[in-house]
Structure 1
């Protein structure tokens, strides 16, 4: 029997393989502005970060304010790329079909992005009524607010919940809120999660047994 009563999944990089797509678009747009960013280094630097963090990061590199329509154009470009290229994380569908606990998703992305990508990958029916976006409360990881909001809405205390994350900022947000957090490390390029997460796992087929 699991010690947990509820599981809170991050979205990007845990449910859907969207981060390489999103950061690829961001790098291309930033480099058009003269940022001279490398994709691999950007994956490490920007993974799991809020859009505002990424925008500030680019602004410092180009040494001027960001164009006023940059976020709007970024959303348009990423949504188009998501529709062409998005895939679920390998093995996550089996996890969601067989998990015997209530679960939800808590993400730094806007809700329309979360819904689009879950719909494109066939995962939306699992989460239809249980989607929590940082944009709704204007608080972003590594602050714990989105996880606390999700737990309270689901009807559980933090100590009753497990968070599943793939980014350092997400792991730290969960810990700050008093949650246990399992770090998904398949794309943990710098092995950042091993010393931070409660436990780590490298493939989704291991998660059900860990629960």
Structure 2
């Protein structure tokens, strides 16, 4: 796919893996909890099968790997442990602070995670000052998750821009699929593209945040 020859007026960032380096933490917690139930998976499996998916979809995948039912409080356990580890380990994606600081057009974040997780991780990584309540969009608020494009469509409308005026930044195949379904241009951040597939689906790709400003001039 080739990017449209125009400047964008609004950037819609995914959160996990694009703004904050949360994927290694959250996936390891999911692996640990799954293995306690007899799933016998590793972090590589999680990256291949969980990355970009909603919690419910990940839980469904785990349920098929074990012989018992998932505990009723499985999500509660996951959130508690992952939040604990976020507070001790999470960092911003390298270079993203500079990108956000230097952007001269409006931007927002649209994530599959719950609102409290998004806000917590933005705060822990020193990125919360770049966002306001009205520029944070969670799939949990509307009850629709990627690859459904609903969260991106909602974000573009709320920000006051048309689909053609917005650019989505994603790091997962599922997120890119959602953006494409919604009619958006989407740039794939490939630093953790474990399957090497984003370049086939995205409008453009880049491997480090310091490369994004140049791409935005296209």
Q: Which runs of 5+ in 1 are unaligned?
A: none
Size of the aligned set, in residue pairs, is 211
Q: Aligned residue for 2:151?
A: 146
Matched residues in 1 for 2:67 and 2:131: separation? 41
Match of 2:103 in 1: 99
Residue 203 of structure 2 corresponds to residue 201 of structure 1: no
Name segments (4+ residues, structure 1) moved above 6 Å: none
1:1-211 equivalences in 2 (<5 Å): 3-129=7-133, 130-211=135-216
SS in 1 for 2:187: strand
Distance in 2, matches of 1:97 and 1:22, equals 27
Q: Name the TM-score, length of structure 2 as normaliser.
A: 0.95
CA distance in structure 2 between the partners assigned to 1:95 and 1:103 by the alignment: 11
1:11-45 CA-to-partner distances (Å, cap 9, x unmatched) read: 00000000110000000010000000111121121
Q: For the aligned residues, what is the CA RMSD?
A: 1.0
Query: Any stretches of 5+ residues in structure 2 without a counterpart?
Result: none
